[in-house]
Structure 1
């Protein structure tokens, strides 16, 4: 399973062209991803692919007060009413453990919305998980809360640097929850990550975009950041080929 994170219409189109299995829809991926605008959500619903909405109201950490928590709840409602397949949420306590109280409220809210529309929302716990001081305990908490999957880099900034941890978490999960490996995932390390037992990969599949030079009005006025990246359909296709080959090898070995 290849999930591609995108933050604009061009990214959606490129991910589809390259063969992505699922989209994580966001805005501002340069900040780690924020909640996408409703207009982009509407565009995504017209595509023939499962879409999970990232509900993150601001940059920074994941400790949320009442106002931010209400925004996330409204984002979950947007995803459900738009017909998206799932949402990606997370919240931290003061000590960076999971905020189980707030998360349980959001999970119940998402489940109720799914029941009302007659189709459940898939629930992914985002990388607030990676900030937890005890990942094993956090995994058990995510299962108890009712999440379907955890997006994780194994507690490191980049998933390829935490392969033993990913393997251990996969073993601990024991089929009770899906691990979705993300951050720093690309064709050069996808096979090594899959070798941990993890079967879902999350990647931007991006390359540096053609940019205006530093003297252009767009850059000088701050309308265009330096180093912006774009979803690359060729990278998506390369990732898709690696996953397909690993799936073939596993099936061939099992038969």
Structure 2
């Protein structure tokens, strides 16, 4: 618990996480509002149409999560952290837990903010949360942001340098998987890409037939957990 308390203080006592949280919420709601106002032919209807900005907000949250790790490496504070927890696993897991919970809360705020704005901008649309599918499409954004933060923390631990880690997570989340899915030979593998799985979790029933949303979420979380485990193993073997 002491590790968690320390990481909470680290995260909330600097300005960058607060700015990232504000920008993440604003970006998510902003992109969704533009889509709802212009009435773009996105192929999404109902509640799903209010969550089209989740990707941009997710990218901002991943930057926040990456900075939570790489900043400590850049200023040398990570040595103090590892002195407090010589085995390193507890300290890194605590950091991941605090950052991921923060990211999840940002996702929930952004998602329900987008949905509430949709009630105003699209009064004639059926945006009621009738059942589990609609609740998943809105509340699931928080879960996706949470797991995305785990990915970002893992990349930060592995790369350690801010510019490289941020570039990698943004390229991966926003570009790489979409580009791979366009290559004919990789189309059949697209469903195994982690962020594509996250998309299927949120938009199952809108993007394809027969998608099992919670299976997709479990796969997304499993890949994130495996990457974090690998990152911690590497961190334990090398100098701070």
| Category of TM-score, reference length = shorter chain | under 0.3
Q: Greater relative contact order: 1 or 2 (C-alpha under 8 angstroms, separation 6 or more)?
A: 2
Instruction: With the length of structure 1 as denominator, give the TM-score of the two structures.
Output: 0.26
Structure with greater strand share of residues: 1
Instruction: With the length of structure 2 as denominator, give the TM-score of the two structures.
Output: 0.27
